[in-house]
Structure 1
Amino acid sequence: MCFPFSSVQRPCIVGRSALTTLLFVLSFLVLGGLVHAQPVGQSEVQTIDPEERIATNNAYLLRRIAEREALLDEARSELAYFHQRKQILEKGLERIEQRAQVKVLGREFVQAALEELRHLPKPAHYKLTRQARDRALATTSDEILRYERELDDLSDREESPARYYPAQRSSSRVAERTKIDSSTRATMTEQRRLLAQLIEIDGALLKTLLESKKTERELMQVSEAAHTLLSKMLFWVPAQFSAQTFVELRSAGAWTVSWENWRGALTNLLVEVSAELVWPVFLGFCVLLLLVTRSRLKRILAALAPSSGRYRPYRIGHTVAALLITLALALPGPVVFWAISLLLGMADESQIFSHALAAALAAAAKLLLATSVFARLIDQNGVAVAHFGWDEPSLNFSARALRRFSVVFVLLIFLASLNGLDYAPYANRESLGFLAFILAMLALAGFFAYLFKTSSPPVRRLIIYQPHSWMLRFHKLWYFVLIAVPLSVAGLALAGYYAAAGYFFSRVLYSAFFVIGAITLYGLIALWVQTEHARLERLQREEKAKSEGEVEAEAEAEEDGEVAIVVPHLDVATIGEQTRSLLDFFITLFLLGGLWSVWKGALPVLSVIGDYSLWTSRTIADGKEVVFSLSVGHVFLALLVASITTVAVRNVGALLDIVLLKRLEMRADATYAIKVVTRYALTAIGVAAASRVLDIGWNNLQWLVAALSVGLGFGLQEIFANFVSGLIVLAERPIRIGDVVTVGDVTGTVARIRARATAVIDFDNKEVIIPNKAFITDRVINWTLSTGTTRLLIKVGVAYGCDTALVQKLLLEVVQANDDVLEQPSPSVYFIDFGDSSLNFEIRAFVDAFDKRLRVQHEINTAIDGVLREHGIEIPFPQRDLHIRSAEGLAGLPVSPTAKTETLASQTAANSAQASV
């Protein structure tokens, strides 16, 4: 693999020529077959002359030494190249940095920076070379180990070479054996020297390869730093708009439509297609297949809609299939563009137009794929309408407008990319590329203005069906933002920051499409949850119908078309609070991760803005003055930490419920306490992280803590006491969610335990907010803390003269007859005392839930009244004696019939009392 820079001699470790490859393979074959061969058998030893065999090995070692010396020379040349390239790059950067000290820079500087940026070495340039070097490192290391073992083995054999050939030693005379031993020993000594030389060469090669690897890594680091520096310069060094832009427009247009350029690109394309024949043909076959089956795919897409009734019951797999078909329908054009771009990118570096066309086609392919997929998603047969149930008229209007607009927009972006990216001439970049980009931004702003104006169908439908939605309330704001973003990008380009404008627009566009993808994923998961709920309900209905013997009737009705098809309609409000919170949490993380992947490449160039200092603070640490500068980047990072913390705190409860707590089968009060403490912990971690980013440490908070201490001693002590009491309540759990408690004159069910107060819902369904301190310092009755069993105490009085044993028996039978009264503890009836007007009995019975008290007491009282009436037992009312000493003042007053009756009753009662006395 040779290096991609034509200006410098480019050495290669492993050449690509057939001769070098053949020699490399033959060397290993010979080495494995001769030097490292296993000991031959007895029959072979008798036919091979030992001295001739050693001589053959020595000849191979001589050839191997020559080959390794050639590889060593190439490795040294590669190392020298890396050093030279590194020095050239460092000198070029130093020169550009010196020129950058001048505040006003001209076109020549920008053009030089662009050229330097274009020719920066990239890791992809050395991928094959790096792989070949790694293989050479492994091979060289293994060979050194093998040669060292061979050398040790030769040392043993050199002491008595004849023993290595027992057949010859036994068949030769003593003089011949001596001659053979002497000659073989000399040959083996030569082999030992050759092996030592080969080990030395391989050791030098190994060292050179390691140093070359290290130098390449340093070169990549310098290249990365240079790329960051040059990108900053090109982003924030303005190229002022001038009349020369229109002067160069003619030459740029001629370069763009030049027949020579296009013929050269076509020639390069045909050459690369013939060289890479397999995958272009396969890709072309796939595109042709998609075009041929296009009508069939559209029919399948329409049939997959729930309203078509073709697939019953509806499953989420139908929506997934619809999404895949939508992608397949949008693929042919972008795939063709991408394939041509890939093939043209393989051309020689000198073919500038081919590489510029490749970059432009790649940009157009990505944009065309995104717009085509989105337009088909919101089409009348698309997933958004047919499966998610979104508004069809407004989406159809948007899809038609998007298709018309994408033709013009993709063409303008293609033209801007062809003349504005790295391989285009600088004059094209500042003329035709610049103007095409400005027109694209103006067209995008006009498209947003047309699509979302007040009289457009989407906004009119929003006014009719969702007049109180937040989208309508903030319509002016987001409408202004949508138009202002492309206009701001165009203004940035007109100000001379063309590179920054193009880069920011591409990031914004990728972010927008990523948000659309996140919304689609959200709708897909929410629809899956709804279909699963519907499936479970259908199974329950089938089980119920099966138990009632109605399955056959339902099947017949379904075959006759009498059963209505339930069309799923995406309604996020119906999927449950916990599921919705968990879905929000994961989609938010997915969205943040995607936006980070889109914008992380912009961090180096945005550091100019992020490093802008808002204010500077000085502190003393360890006796030294430390200066901290709060920058825009610090504020942005703190806001990001705060946003992530807010999302985590709001949704961690559902996450814990679904993922962990339900699997552990914990009680509700314990899970609630865990969730609340987890929220507090996440809040504390988020505040600490944001404070650290803003350099707010203990030294900065000492005055605040001192002020809070004074405030706690005066006005804030109640708030702090309630907060601490809330933590104690969560830890000790004297009250829990769902407990029935009595605090003072309030009795109700605990609904929420917050940091400062607890909400109790009384029996009038009113929420009473009670400070947490009351649950710690005041007297609290928890009716359901350890058990839900509670006792009823019912008092009954009967008239004097009744049979007390009969009354006790009747009352006990009434209590025991009630199904909600517990057998253990058993109910009891006691005759407790003699009252003024009655014999008093007391009923003690137990129920297993607090909410049964009133109902059971009502049932028992009703039953007691009935059974006492049935047996003629009187429940007396209080009796009093009334003595009238004088009635003179009442003589002249009229007496009503009621008064006469009451007076007569009083007199009768008095006479009875006197008679009894």
Structure 2
Amino acid sequence: MKSIENLPKEIRRLNLQLESVQNENSVTTQILASGVKTKDIGALLATVQQNLPSRFDLKDQLKLQRKQLVKAELNRVLWQERTRKFNVDPVTLDNYFENWKVRHVNATDLTESQKQKLRPLRDARKKIVTDLTSASIENLELLASMVDSTETLMVQTTSLSNELRQSLIWLPSNNAFSSNWQDAGQAGLQWYFSPRNWIIAAKDLWRGAISHFLRTGLLIGLIILFWFRRSRININPLLSLDQNRAGISKLFIGSFAAFLRSIELSVLVPAFLIAIGLTLKSGATTNFSNALSHTLIILAGLIFVLRFMRVSCRDGALFDKNIDIGRPLRTQIRASLIWFTPLQISSVFVFRLSSYSSNTIVHDTFGLIAFLISAAGLTVIAWKIVRSVNSNKSEQTSFVRKIFPLFLIGTPVVLGIIALIGYFRTAFELQGKFFLTILILLVGYILMRSVHQVLHLIGDLKREIDSVNEISSARISEIAQGKTTTNITEKNGLRTHSEKTDAIQFRNLINSFVFFGIAFGLWIVWQSFIPALGVLDDVTLMTQQIGSGENLLLKSITLQDIFIAGLILILTTVAARNLPGFLELLVLRNTNLDAGAKYAAVTIIGYAIVAVGSVVALSKAGLQWSQLQWFVAALSLGIGFGMQEIVANFISGIILLFERPVRIGDYVTIGAQSGTVSRIQIRAVTLQDLDRRETVIPNKKLITDDVTNWSLSDSVVRLSITVGIAYGSDTTLARKLMLQALQENENVLNDPVPAVLFSGFGDSSLNFEMRGFIFGFENLAKITSELHLAVDAAFREHKVEIPFPQRVLHHADSKT
């Protein structure tokens, strides 16, 4: 805690800083209000930004000061309580002595002379307690004043920093090139190659290593560990998914191990540069040493990413076995990184180091040239990679083919043009964010491909195990009961179809998690740039009136409002597609709801998300109810004439979702169409018949027409087969054989009890009717066929004849 003597000095220092920030804020406001946008204005505002107090330091100071304030408040309460005891309840010497005798039992009574000596001491103690109470109150007031000053300074600094960041991004910061190449060359040589700068940097490095020897030793130990680990790692025997199919856990371990080994092979040089950078930063005494430390740390990140890409593209490595990227693309990446890596390292080193030079001519010439070389290198390697992707159709997706190449190739070109026309600072800041954006997208891509590969192999492994188990169980049952083994292929086909649906849903869930992770990462990268978009708020597109009379307000709709409204619509679309799936997989799946109820809930949630998002977006764009009245009127007129069928189908779809006369998975008959309900959408219902053909039926038909739902309340349906035997056959034996066929078929339910009825005498046969109940109308044809085969085999074995139609013809006499 700061002493009372130092607190006034600290408060004066904070007030001076606050006054300086307020003055700079006033100057900045006047400069920006003038509307002048020149290089000198940009340089002046950049200087103001550099001289601002660090917001992170102010935040740490404020946190410490608040802790000190709490302690000071506690001390004040304690000392005030002690003072109160002296003033309200005076303590005599006898009381002191009695309390003292409690701890010293053998003590004798005080004499009068001893009491005379103790009274001044008691009065002195009272004065000391009073003075300390006053000092604690003064200390508390000073600390409270210091906290207020720091809070005000932090608010003012944050406000000015955001305003400068918003403005500097749109201001020119350099000339295209320096007109005086001689001065530029001398300044550059002095900055980059001055022996004095490098000697001082070496001394600062040694000073940092000595002052933080524990950290230095730890970093050196980690580097040595990585070196020995690297010498023992061979990229070829990396654990891959195809080589580890013995268990599901090994599938995950193999993918994760491949990722870790790629990191181990890439981290040695970056770790060494980070160690040097951190050590140099802790001992830096000059601007060059500080610039060199920051540059080395940035280079470490760049080298790590490039090295990781090159290692992962080897045959048998992460991008081959685990991510399944084609060999042509991996070969192209590795070949391009051979020249791209040294080019980027040297370019980034030059223009990053130039950004810390106090001589702007170094930044405007050497830094600009290095930046343009870096942008050109990014453009070339992006073009080569995109060309390789386009040459291999198996590597394409719609997003990569249409959007991502433009972003990958066009961004460095645009940044180079921006730097050339004088906005080097803008291009410089955007390039770093561009690099981090590509890195985040790469990590998301690796994660998605890895998870998809693991899920694919897990599905294959699970189907193989289930198939083996089912075949084994069927053979055991065949041996024990003498039954015919059921058709494993058809069951596996049904299970595979269900698993495909689950796999698609789970993959979409993983994609959604990765998408939101990427969005969060991009938010972290670009949040410092968001204040720069505040300039969009200055572009007024329209002005609308809200209210009337005395409550009339004018609201401006700016370009920023339209931008935010568009962003809300994009987020609404993403949420409508993925959030219902989240709820279905994570919440609804654990409930007792059937498939139809889950589908209805998911669909309604999707509609609600779209409705809420659309209302919020339209409101942000300034479209209030008063502006939408004409649209609603026109819509009502359209409904009355040409859109009534669409609206009828829409309302019918909502009725179907709430009343649920048909559900997902129900087998229904609508007119001449029969099939399983696979989708209930806003306009129509999709039926899938037994031939797996899909028929789209408007929702209105399900409300107005007769609909037979074979599984609305019960999926059990009756099976009826007519069988005829020849006249003179043993009817008792035939009935017994048919009943036995029903009872032995595992798909025929035991409750209700199957039955065989003698239905009548036909023209050529004695007719029987086999009746049984099965689960699922879609299984009717399959089970009927099984029973036909069983009855035919039983009749052949027991010589029961199935007749064919017979006709007796009588030829009339010609005379007759």
What TM-score do you get using the length of structure 2 for normalisation?
0.85
Contact 1:158 1:188 in 2 (8 A): no
Identical positions, percent: 23
Q: Show structure 1 runs of 5+ residues with no match.
A: 1-12, 15-70, 551-571, 880-901, 912-917
Provide Cα deviations, 1:765-793, integer angstroms capped at 9, x if missing partner: 43322221222222211122122333356
CA distance in 2, matches of 1:177, 1:221: 65
Which letter does structure 1 place at the counterpart of 2:153?
L
CA distance in 1, matches of 2:454, 2:785: 48
Q: 1:511 aligns with which of 419, 437, 445?
A: 437
Say which one has the larger Rg. Answer: 1
Question: Which residue of the partner structure matches residue 441 of structure 1?
Answer: 375
Partner of 2:314, secondary structure, is coil
Distance 1:834 1:324, change over 3 A: closer
Provide Cα deviations, 1:263-291, integer angstroms capped at 9, x if missing partner: 22222221121111110121022213322
Provide Cα deviations, 1:573-614, integer angstroms capped at 9, x if missing partner: 999212211111111111111111111110012322x32536
Shift of residue 126, structure 1, vs aligned partner: 4.6
2:782 counterpart of 1:846 = no
- Supply the RMSD in Å over aligned alpha carbons: 4.0
Contact 1:739 1:750 in 2 (8 A): yes
Distance 1:878 1:471, change over 3 A: same
Question: Which residue of the partner structure matches residue 318 of structure 2?
Answer: 383
Distance 1:226 1:364, change over 3 A: same
Shift of residue 418, structure 1, vs aligned partner: 0.9
Using the TM superposition, name which of 434-443 and 141-150 deviates more: 141-150
Question: Which residue of the partner structure matches residue 365 of structure 1?
Answer: 300
2:537 counterpart of 1:611 = yes
Q: 1:750 aligns with which of 658, 677, 690?
A: 677
Contact 1:360 1:417 in 2 (8 A): yes
Using the TM superposition, name which of 392-401 and 263-272 deviates more: 392-401
Shift of residue 81, structure 1, vs aligned partner: 1.5
CA distance in 2, matches of 1:178, 1:378: 97
Question: Which residue of the partner structure matches residue 184 of structure 2?
Answer: 249
Question: Which residue of the partner structure matches residue 487 of structure 2?
Answer: none
Shift of residue 380, structure 1, vs aligned partner: 2.9
Q: 2:578 aligns with which of 646, 651, 656?
A: 651
Question: Which residue of the partner structure matches residue 320 of structure 1?
Answer: 256
Question: Which residue of the partner structure matches residue 742 of structure 2?
Answer: 818
Shift of residue 318, structure 1, vs aligned partner: 2.5
CA distance in 1, matches of 2:287, 2:432: 23
Contact 2:688 2:695 in 1 (8 A): yes
Which letter does structure 2 place at the counterpart of 1:258?
S
Which letter does structure 2 place at the counterpart of 1:846?
G
Q: 2:29 aligns with which of 97, 103, 118?
A: 97
Which letter does structure 2 place at the counterpart of 1:270?
W
CA distance in 2, matches of 1:769, 1:311: 42
Question: Which residue of the partner structure matches residue 83 of structure 1?
Answer: 15
Partner of 1:302, secondary structure, is coil
Q: 2:334 aligns with which of 387, 399, 418?
A: 399
2:201 counterpart of 1:265 = yes
CA distance in 2, matches of 1:680, 1:209: 55
Contact 2:679 2:686 in 1 (8 A): yes
2:806 counterpart of 1:907 = no
Distance 1:707 1:906, change over 3 A: farther
Distance 1:153 1:626, change over 3 A: closer
CA distance in 2, matches of 1:427, 1:470: 45
2:360 counterpart of 1:426 = yes
Which letter does structure 2 place at the counterpart of 1:720?
V
CA distance in 1, matches of 2:246, 2:778: 45
Provide Cα deviations, 1:517-559, integer angstroms capped at 9, x if missing partner: 1111112222332343355456557868998999xxxxxxxxx
Contact 1:526 1:575 in 2 (8 A): no
Distance 1:859 1:543, change over 3 A: closer
Provide Cα deviations, 1:361-407, integer angstroms capped at 9, x if missing partner: 23222222222222222233431013333222431331232132111
CA distance in 1, matches of 2:814, 2:757: 32
Shift of residue 798, structure 1, vs aligned partner: 9.9
Provide Cα deviations, 1:180-208, integer angstroms capped at 9, x if missing partner: 44543443233222212211111111121
Partner of 1:759, secondary structure, is strand
2:541 counterpart of 1:593 = no
Contact 2:739 2:754 in 1 (8 A): yes
Shift of residue 411, structure 1, vs aligned partner: 1.2
Which letter does structure 2 place at the counterpart of 1:498?
F
Provide Cα deviations, 1:90-132, integer angstroms capped at 9, x if missing partner: 1123223323444445554333322221121013435665465
Question: Which residue of the partner structure matches residue 286 of structure 2?
Answer: 351
Which letter does structure 2 place at the counterpart of 1:389?
D
Q: 1:493 aligns with which of 412, 419, 434?
A: 419
Q: How many residues align?
A: 779
CA distance in 1, matches of 2:71, 2:302: 46
Using the TM superposition, name which of 819-828 and 274-283 deviates more: 819-828
Which letter does structure 1 place at the counterpart of 2:164?
L
2:269 counterpart of 1:333 = yes
Using the TM superposition, name which of 677-686 and 310-319 deviates more: 310-319
Contact 1:815 1:860 in 2 (8 A): no
Question: Which residue of the partner structure matches residue 73 of structure 2?
Answer: 141
Shift of residue 415, structure 1, vs aligned partner: 0.8
Distance 1:574 1:671, change over 3 A: closer
2:663 counterpart of 1:736 = yes
Using the TM superposition, name which of 638-647 and 780-789 deviates more: 638-647
Provide Cα deviations, 1:818-871, integer angstroms capped at 9, x if missing partner: 235655445667788999x79997847232232454566677789599979978
Distance 1:910 1:488, change over 3 A: farther
CA distance in 2, matches of 1:803, 1:548: 40
CA distance in 1, matches of 2:695, 2:771: 31
CA distance in 1, matches of 2:165, 2:400: 41
Which letter does structure 1 place at the counterpart of 2:79?
Y
Contact 2:764 2:803 in 1 (8 A): no
Contact 1:747 1:762 in 2 (8 A): yes
Contact 1:253 1:432 in 2 (8 A): no
2:576 counterpart of 1:671 = no
Q: Show structure 2 runs of 5+ residues with no match.
A: 477-498
Partner of 1:611, secondary structure, is helix
Distance 1:748 1:522, change over 3 A: closer
Using the TM superposition, name which of 850-859 and 639-648 deviates more: 850-859
Which letter does structure 2 place at the counterpart of 1:331?
V
Question: Which residue of the partner structure matches residue 282 of structure 1?
Answer: 218
Distance 1:242 1:220, change over 3 A: same
Partner of 1:401, secondary structure, is helix
CA distance in 1, matches of 2:147, 2:598: 56
Q: Pairwise mapping of residues 84-233 of structure 1 onto structure 2 (< 5 A)? A: 84-126=16-58, 129-130=61-62, 133-154=65-86, 158-166=90-98, 177-233=111-167
